[in-house]
């Protein structure tokens, strides 16, 4: 589905998208050290956590990097070590919110284990996020407002669906799960789902550590009779808006950085805004 927007918005939208891409690329926090797991590079551990980690058997520091485990292959013992590390970080106050959810631990392109979600940022581990840009047949954009109790970006506008991929979960399965939880959408509602694409890998300094995250995106036009409705209590409002309304909210700083990247990519594509525009 193509959309029509004012030509006056083409240049500022493409420029803002490029600016946002740059904002999503930050060096690790000062003092961070590379982290290895099973002999492979997997993250950037923030300096404040290093003394705590070094009290755990199986964790060592050689001056340049912090190493988790001496084994060269993922084992049950390796995952138990990751569990002890997560508990240690939580007890020391480095875990912003314990979620009781495991995420995959990637190292040099391989999945080698799983760890509590709340521990990934202090360790600078790679995460996978899926997002859904949902449109009405008339070219209006469905958006959600994050609940006030959310630990990250409360009360800000977001993509209709967005969340992290759980351990051992396919990207497509994760998107369907998140769509059901956040918007009450099922596979039958997403019959017009377009192929998933990778927008960028973000590197951002956060209060709890370092975010290294692949942003995966889907687009979908929802039928007229489909009405998204939040199911998990993490959204305070869902509505559809015009592209012009979205742009006003984004410029006013009311939209999360991730959502801006994801949504602007979709708008530029659907409005045929060239990447080469100056």
Which tens digits make up the pLDDT trace of 192-215? 999 999 999 999 999 999 999 999
CA 265 from chain centre, in angstroms, equals: 15
Average pLDDT over residues 65-89: 89
1-23: b (≥16 Cβ within 10 Å) or e: eebebeeebbeebbebbeebeee
- Among the ranges given (84-88, 192-196, 205-209, 273-277), the one the predictor scored with the smallest mean pLDDT: 273-277
Nearest Cα to 130, choosing from 180, 82, 83, 96? 180
The pLDDT tens digits of the residues spanning 246-268 come to 999 999 999 999 999 999 999 99
Residues whose CB is less than 8 angstroms from the CB of residue 34 and which lie 6 or more positions away in sequence, other chains included? 41, 43, 44, 45, 64, 65, 66
- pLDDT of 74 above 90: no
pLDDT of 177 reads 96
pLDDT of 70 reads 78
- pLDDT of 219 above 70: yes
pLDDT of 71 reads 73
Q: How far apart are the first and last CA of the chain?
A: 25
Pairing of strands 102-107, 66-68: unpaired
Burial of 203 (0-12, 13-18, 19+ CB in 10 A): middle
Residue that has been written with the tokens 């797991």 in this structure: 37
- pLDDT of 26 above 70: yes
d(CA 85, CA 45): 12
pLDDT of 278 reads 58
């Amino acid at each position: 589905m193509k959309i029509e927007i004012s030509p006056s918005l083409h240049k500022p939208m493409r420029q803002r998208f490029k600016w946002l891409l740059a904002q999503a690329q930050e060096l690790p926090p000062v003092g961070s050290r590379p982290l290895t797991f099973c002999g492979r590079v997997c993250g950037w551990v923030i300096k404040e956590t290093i003394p705590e980690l070094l009290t755990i058997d199986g964790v060592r520091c050689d001056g340049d990097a912090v190493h988790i485990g001496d084994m060269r292959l993922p084992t049950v013992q390796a995952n138990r070590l990751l569990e002890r590390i997560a508990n240690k970080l939580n007890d020391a106050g480095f875990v912003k919110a314990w979620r009781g959810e495991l995420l995959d631990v990637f190292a040099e392109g391989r999945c080698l284990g799983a760890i509590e979600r709340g521990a990934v940022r202090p360790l600078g581990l790679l995460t996978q996020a899926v997002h859904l840009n949902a449109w009405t047949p008339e070219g209006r954009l469905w958006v959600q407002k994050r609940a006030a109790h959310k630990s990250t970006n409360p009360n800000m506008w977001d993509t209709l669906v967005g969340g992290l991929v759980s351990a051992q979960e396919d990207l497509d399965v994760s998107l369907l799960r998140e769509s059901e939880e956040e918007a009450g959408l099922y596979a039958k509602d997403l019959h017009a789902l377009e192929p998933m694409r990778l927008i960028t890998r973000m590197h951002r300094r956060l209060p709890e550590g370092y975010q290294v995250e692949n942003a995966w995106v889907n687009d979908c036009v929802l039928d007229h009779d489909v009405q998204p409705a939040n199911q998990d209590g993490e959204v305070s409002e869902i509505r559809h808006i015009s592209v012009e309304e979205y742009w006003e909210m984004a410029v006013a700083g009311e939209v999360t950085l991730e959502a801006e990247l994801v949504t602007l990519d979709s708008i530029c594509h659907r409005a045929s805004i060239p990447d080469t525009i100056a």
